[in-house]
Amino acid sequence: MIVSRDLQLSIEGDVIIVEDDDLLSNLMMEILSDIGAGCLAFDTADDALIHLLQSHRACSLVIADHGVPGQILGTDLAKMVKEKWPEIAVILTSGHELKVSDLPSNVRYLQKPWAIDSLVSTVREVLHPHGRL
């Protein structure tokens, strides 16, 4: 277990992870599973978008790396998700500094390398913005 049991969250719906680095993708899946999330991981934003469009399952959060292979960047996916599904929380990550002003106002940015505590607290903030667990 990576995360303490007292950090468990009430997460309804899947968490979609878009990360082409297998190590980071697996780490995020383990962290999020430890805090109570059901996760699906994709290497490309293209595949994640297709899943979102075709799935009948609820999604509560998308965590996308900006620089993933494929036709769609993580930033583009973040904008599309917020336009089509405004209720889905979005966290965008990148190893390169991004201009937060270029992102939709309701997309959180988490620069790599991030600490486990930073990821967990950011997930908590976007899923429970008013402090309700």
Per cent of the chain over pLDDT 90 is: 68
pLDDT at 5 over 90: no
Distance CA 73, CA 131 (A): 31
Mean pLDDT of 94-116: 87
50 backbone φψ class: left, alpha, beta (φ>0; ψ -120 to 50)? alpha
Query: What CA–CA distance (Å, rounded) separates 89 from 83?
Result: 12
Residue 120 lies in a domain: yes
The CATH number assigned to the domain holding 31 equals 3.40.50.2300
**pLDDT tens, position by position, 43-88:** 999 999 999 999 988 999 999 999 999 999 999 999 999 999 999 9
Range of the domain at 44: 11-127
pLDDT score at 133: 47
Task: For residue 124, give the H/E element and its range.
Answer: helix 116-127
Q: Is residue 133 part of a domain?
A: no
Question: Is 74 contained in some domain?
Answer: yes
Whether 2 is in a domain gets the answer no
Verify cis geometry, omega within 30 degrees of 0, for the bond prior to 113.
yes
Residue 111's CB is within 10 A of a number of other CB atoms, namely 15
Is the pLDDT at 132 greater than 60? The verdict is no
Question: What percent of the chain is modeled with pLDDT above 70?
Answer: 89
Q: How many domains does the chain have?
A: 1
CA 130 → CA 6, 39, 75, 133, distances in Å? 18, 23, 25, 9
